[in-house]
Structure 1
Amino acid sequence: WRAVDECGNWSSCTQTITVVDTTPPEVECTVYDITEFDGDDDDDDDDDDDDSVSFTATATDVCSDARVQIGQVVFVPPGDDDDDDDDDDDSKVRIRGATITIINSGAPGTVIKWTARGTDECGNTTMVDYSITVLEDEDKDDHHHHHHYYHHGRPWWWWRWHR
């Protein structure tokens, strides 16, 4: 900045503006309850677990890139009223970065909880807790294994006839 008066006298100064990012990233993970399954038959360590279900968290930030890490997984078996994870349960998950893969769901009623932590380049963090409930597979004892395809809570045939 420079200022000059009517006599030609002048003075100047410098102004420095520093923008500091204090806003943490937003973390999202679309989750839904799952039907019980036992994926233990797929013991190889590849990424194509036939019965597995995966959830991937994402992070967005207004100033920089953000990364997400999944951590702090807790299994709460049916009838357990605390989160101390001291009960024997068959649930099994694999975590790779921002993705949690349920390999074995455990018994119906099991609640699987996890935390997603988003961090931006300035070190701002957001932690969001997620949970899913394992539902009973009503077709488990049905030897025909009918597949029901649902969209927005309605079976496939409903949409076909109600267009």
Structure 2
Amino acid sequence: PQEEVITRTWTGTDDCGNSSSCAQVVTVVDTTPPEVQCNAYDITEFDGDDDDDDDDSVSFTATATDLCSDVRIKVGWIVCVPPPGDDDDDDDDDDCKVRAYGATITVLDSGDPGTVINWTAKATDDCGNIVAVNCSVTVLEAEEEEEEEEDHGHGSGHDKPWWWHWRHW
């Protein structure tokens, strides 16, 4: 129940049959705001496409729960904070690009490693209780994949001598 008024009537009667009644009015009011979960995790840097589609993107959807009613949630106030020492104000290719719709933000381009993407998730329940939670994601540097060296039987550091590889092709 969002808000409810409960009326109880109490009647007392003594041994002589005399009675008296009184009404107890209990008003239940929801003053507890919803709880919000950002559902965000750090991401590895990526360059999004220029066409702003969702093929090369990462999305985060905030969720909220409330004990008394349904919850409406919306994200806003999105700020991309570049890494310390990033003085390249002229190069928009390194800037992060983020789109918001409802409870979801979609990162279209992560920006440079060290960039922090901040946003606010705001939830409102049916009684008008509001809560705003700050969410953030840090852009991590992509790990370079190590190339495996081909073993042509010339002693590539394995536990067999070089001639073993040559003889057992």
Q: Is the 8 A contact 2:72 2:125 kept in 1?
A: yes
Matches of 2:139 and 2:73 in 1, distance apart?
25
Q: Residue 92 of structure 1 aligns to which amino acid in structure 2?
A: K
Structure-to-structure mapping, 1:119-138, within 5 angstroms = 119-138=124-143
Kindly indicate whether residue 91 of structure 2 is the aligned counterpart of residue 91 of structure 1: no
Q: Residue 121 of structure 2 aligns to which amino acid in structure 1?
A: A
Q: Deviation per CA, 1:78-124, whole angstroms, max 9, x where unpaired?
A: 1169xxxxx96621111111000001111111110111111111111
Aligned pair count reads: 133
Q: Is the 8 A contact 2:49 2:56 kept in 1?
A: no
Partner of residue 13 from structure 1, selected from 22, 27, 40:
22
Matches of 2:48 and 2:107 in 1, distance apart?
9
Matches of 1:68 and 1:80 in 2, distance apart?
35
Q: Is the 8 A contact 1:25 1:124 kept in 2?
A: yes
Give the unaligned 5+ runs of structure 2: 1-9, 148-169
Structure-to-structure mapping, 1:73-112, within 5 angstroms = 73-79=78-84, 90-112=95-117
Q: Residue 8 of structure 1 aligns to which amino acid in structure 2?
A: G
Under a length normalisation based on structure 2, what TM-score does the superposition of the two structures give? 0.70
Matches of 2:141 and 2:36 in 1, distance apart?
30
Q: Which residue of 1 aligns with 2:159?
A: none
Q: Which residue of 2 aligns with 1:55?
A: 60
* Identity across matched positions, percent: 68
Q: Is the 8 A contact 2:64 2:73 kept in 1?
A: yes
Root-mean-square deviation over aligned CA pairs: 2.4
Q: Is the 8 A contact 1:108 1:134 kept in 2?
A: yes
Matches of 1:51 and 1:39 in 2, distance apart?
6
Note closer, same or farther for the CA distance 1:125–1:80 as it changes in structure 2 (3 Å cut): farther
Higher-Rg member (1/2): 2
Q: Which residue of 1 aligns with 2:35?
A: 26
Matches of 1:3 and 1:35 in 2, distance apart?
71
Q: Is the 8 A contact 2:100 2:106 kept in 1?
A: yes
Secondary structure in 2 matching 1:133: strand
CA-CA distance at 1:42 after TM superposition: 2.8
Please state which structure has a larger fraction of its residues in strand. Answer: 2
Q: Is the 8 A contact 1:118 1:125 kept in 2?
A: yes
Give the unaligned 5+ runs of structure 1: 82-86, 145-163
CA-CA distance at 1:135 after TM superposition: 1.5
Matches of 2:20 and 2:40 in 1, distance apart?
62
Kindly indicate whether residue 58 of structure 2 is the aligned counterpart of residue 43 of structure 1: no
